[in-house]
Amino acid sequence: MLIFRKVFFAVLLALLCTQSVAAAKQSALKVHRHVSEQTWSVNSYLIESEKGLLLIDGQMLNSDAKLLAAQIKSLKKPLLAAIITHAHSDHFAGFSELRRQLGEFPLYSIASVVQGIEPFHNQFLTSYKPMYGDDLESTWITPQVLESGKVLNIGDIEFLPVDLGAGEAEAQLVLYFPAQRWLFTGDATMHRSFYYVGEGHSAEALLAFERLKKEFPEAQTLYAGHGDPARLNIVDQHIAQVRLLRETVSAAMSMPGNLDDKGQLTREALTKVVDDILAAYPYFYDYGLDARMLMSWNVLGLVKELGSTLAMTSE
């Protein structure tokens, strides 16, 4: 009996050891998060493997890109490649400075994101160049196109890039690391913050949220472009938030006297909608922007989006 027990425990121990070796092999990657100091709490992520580093998103201002470059240098491993999750300048404008600091490295994104970079940055410069001057780069680097839905190996780092369509931005790339169950969402999720739908893609954002739940049910940690990491159930909160936005704006638009002759909400109606939504989420972060301004952009975007949907259905 004693021998049987000894054999049993020896087998159990051997099994546990093999499992932990397998787990160690699978979790050999490490995530480093770099948060911008100057602007909007933008996250860049460094995935560290034995062979090198993969960078996800490259900051907005040169001063922040310099700090990110210093972190990359401190890890003393080659930068194997970098990826842009979406064509918003707070995630890609810093790449010129990163190339100056670190030399050449491959830069990738999906075709729809690559196409959006030039028009978005030109528009962005009009608004923000006067504010940031030389700290905001006027030029940009055009990434090479990678294919959505096909597992990619960069050095010893393996992941699945997936085109999520429009939502917070006109095109969104998410990256799934199956062995680690990590999902890098760009701004497709923005944790414990006000979600941005100012570009008029709230209906598509709701579809994108459902896709995240359906296509990545195993995801354990979501790493977003802004905010702390979260679990997959944060997506349900996002769905509730965007639905509330749509319903509040839609209700305001249908109230007599709230729209002017250009189809815009009157100033009073806009203020009321913004107040109502901000009151629903008193603890949300605004990533260093003014919450009221951010929510006004959302409401203006929604008025346009919902207005054109109404016009289409009444035709």
Which parts of this chain interact with Zn ion (CB under 5 A)? 88, 90, 187, 225
Name the residue nearer to Zn ion (CB basis): 90 or 204: 90
Picking from 41, 44, 72, 38, the residue whose alpha carbon sits closest to that of residue 56 is 44
Name the residue nearer to Zn ion (CB basis): 67 or 273: 67
Distance in Å, CB of 180 to Zn ion, minimum: 23
Name the residue nearer to Zn ion (CB basis): 36 or 248: 36
Distance in Å, CB of 274 to Zn ion, minimum: 21
Distance in Å, CB of 41 to Zn ion, minimum: 9
Name the residue nearer to Zn ion (CB basis): 90 or 199: 90
Name the residue nearer to Zn ion (CB basis): 29 or 55: 55
| Alpha-carbon span 96 to 86, nearest angstrom | 16
Name the residue nearer to Zn ion (CB basis): 35 or 75: 35
Distance in Å, CB of 288 to Zn ion, minimum: 11
- HEC secondary structure over the chain: CHHHHHHHHHHHHHHHHHHHHHHHHHCCCEEEEEECCCCCCEEEEEEECCCCEEEECCCCCHHHHHHHHHHHHHCCCCEEEEECCCCCHHHHCCHHHHHHHHCCCCEEECHHHHHHHHHHHHHHHHHHHHHHHHHCCCCCCCCEECCCCCCEEECCEEEEEEEEECCCCCCEEEEEECCCCEEEEECCCCCCECCCCCCCCHHHHHHHHHHHHHHCCCCCEEEECECCCECCCHHHHHHHHHHHHHHHHHHHHHCCCCECCCCCECHHHHHHHHHHHHHHCCCCECCCCCHHHHHHHHHHHHHHHHHHHHHHHHC
| Alpha-carbon span 260 to 276, nearest angstrom | 20
Name the residue nearer to Zn ion (CB basis): 88 or 201: 88
Distance in Å, CB of 57 to Zn ion, minimum: 8
Distance in Å, CB of 297 to Zn ion, minimum: 13
Distance in Å, CB of 33 to Zn ion, minimum: 14
Distance in Å, CB of 271 to Zn ion, minimum: 26
Name the residue nearer to Zn ion (CB basis): 72 or 188: 188
